[in-house]
Amino acid sequence: MNAHLTSAALYTRVKVRLARGRLRRLKGRIRPAGVGHSPLPLAVTPVAGRSLLLRPPQLSDADRYAAVLLAHADDLADQHPQPAGSTDPWSADEALLSWTDRLLTERAQARRGERFVELLLLSGQLVGEVSARIDHGTSSADLTLWVDAPAADGVSSRLVAERGMALFLLHIGQAAHPPRRYFSEVPERVEPATGDEPATGGELDRGALLESLGFHREGRLLDSRLYRGRPAAHDIWVAHDTDVFRRNLQAILDQA
């Protein structure tokens, strides 16, 4: 071993080697090829003349999702926190390790009916992810969404997010025990938006997006959550699974 490697670097290298070994062993064993960890069928909707596919993450997605994580570490910090004590940018191995560990954890949660996760693929290109963490005790779902605006390649990321989330909500509404209530936390934006692409790195105006989907703002958490590593106020947006709510989602998908 290299004597100049720090203990943290050695620890990371060992964990990465183990993660890659798990990938090789599990690719053909956890699920048959082409099958993810959602109990629901695939869902597709047209977006600006292209096809937007929602499907669960697969082990074969590991390398390209790790590349997305490297390119957008700030946007995905909530799902993939930096390794403890690390202030350096993600390395390729750390990104792969984080994504693999999360995928395996979420597969177990999905089997218990506690999580739905689906990737957004626009004409085969990975452009984002939407997920729901299910609390069966309260029959509620905590939603998160991320869309890579540059990867959308000229298609409005707001349009991709709106149609993708509408399809996702209708999709999980087909589950055996669908949530009766959905909520999502939206951090207070510190820079003004212009058009539908805010100044903060092309980030979506998620409040406006949720409002268009039929959510309403119900409250605010004051500096009790981190956003980009700093305490920030978060608005709580809520929707109830009613016939009116579902009709609004379907109307979004029916738009030309």
What was the pLDDT predicted at 67? 78
Look up the pTM and report it.
0.73
What was the pLDDT predicted at 237? 93
What was the pLDDT predicted at 164? 94
Cβ neighbourhood burial of 133 (10 Å; 0-12, 13-18, 19+) = middle
- State which fold the 41-254 domain adopts: Aminopeptidase (3.40.630)
What was the pLDDT predicted at 38? 52
What was the pLDDT predicted at 152? 74
Closest among 158, 165, 166, 179 to 113, alpha carbons compared: 179
In angstroms, the CA 143 to CA 165 distance is 9
What was the pLDDT predicted at 103? 80
What was the pLDDT predicted at 183? 92
Tokens matching residue 35: 């099958």
What is the chain's pLDDT, residue by residue, as a tens digit (256 residues)? 455 555 555 555 656 666 666 555 555 444 433 334 455 556 788 888 889 999 888 888 878 877 777 777 666 666 555 555 555 666 777 777 777 787 888 888 888 888 888 999 998 888 888 999 999 999 999 998 888 877 677 888 899 999 999 999 998 888 888 899 999 988 776 443 433 333 333 457 888 999 999 999 998 877 666 666 667 778 889 999 999 999 999 999 998 5
What was the pLDDT predicted at 9? 57
Q: Which residue has the tokens 């500096």?
A: 223
Cα separations (Å) of 4 from 1, 11, 61, 72? 9, 13, 33, 30
What was the pLDDT predicted at 68? 77
Cα separations (Å) of 161 from 59, 126, 132, 155, 217? 24, 13, 15, 11, 19
